[in-house]
Amino acid sequence: MRKFCMVALLTTLTSIVWAGESYKIDPVHSTIMFSVKHLNIGYAYGQFTDYEGSFHYDPANGTVTKLEFKINSNSVTTQHAKRDKHLKSVDFFDVMQFPEITFMAKGVTKNDKGVYEVRGDLTLHGVTKPTTFEVEEVGSGNDPWGGFRRGFQGTAVIKRSEHDMSFLLEGVSDEVKVTIAFETVRQ
């Protein structure tokens, strides 16, 4: 009887796990970018070009779980070599000491307008802080290669100073707007 209960429990857990769908970010068709105010006059933009991520989606109830992504901090680019070198230095990202930026979702809720609030821990420059992204699903469908994709776009605002990145706060804004645009592939 005990063996039967264990088998039944494992079967139930397996069916729960497989009830949803697993997705991975397609980095070729995705973007992670940021903007900061420069000298309180205009905006400067940058992006990261090397990252990966995944999540679990249950289409029956529209829930997202196990969402996480990792960014190679050395992949930061602003299309200006001298500025990129400075951003990679100890003044900003310090890519030698902190090679990775990570986000691990702790909870995802969907409001009545279909926007997901993705709450989680952002680890940047060795400091972990709670961060919320507002994300909307852009679309979904079959691709020409026989796969199925979902697209998402979202934003969050973080403060550099909360992640021990306080260099030149008088010239480069403390608030950084992060924009993600992910095309994901069902696994």
Residue-wise pLDDT tens digits, 5-29: 444 444 433 333 446 899 999 999 9
The range of the structural domain enclosing residue 68 comes to: 20-186
Of 140, 135, 127, the closest CA to residue 155 belongs to 135
Instruction: Answer yes or no: is 8 within a domain.
Output: no
Instruction: Answer yes or no: is 71 within a domain.
Output: yes
pLDDT one-digit tens code per residue, 130-142: 999 999 999 999 9
Collect the ranges in the chain with pLDDT lower than 70: 1-19
Instruction: Answer yes or no: is 137 within a domain.
Output: yes
DSSP 126-179: TEEEEEEEEEEEEEEEE-TTS-EEEEEEEEEEEEGGGGT--TTTTTEEEEEEEE
Instruction: Answer yes or no: is 2 within a domain.
Output: no
Domain count within the chain: 1
Residue pointed to by tokens 């992910």: 182
Amino acid 135 reads: V
Instruction: Answer yes or no: is 158 within a domain.
Output: yes
Instruction: Answer yes or no: is 4 within a domain.
Output: no
Whole-number Å distance between alpha carbons of 148 and 131: 29
Instruction: Answer yes or no: is 115 within a domain.
Output: yes
Cβ-based neighbour number of residue 144 at 10 Å: 5
Instruction: Answer yes or no: is 1 within a domain.
Output: no
Of 156, 135, 183, the closest CA to residue 35 belongs to 156
Domain harbouring 74, CATH code: 2.40.128.110
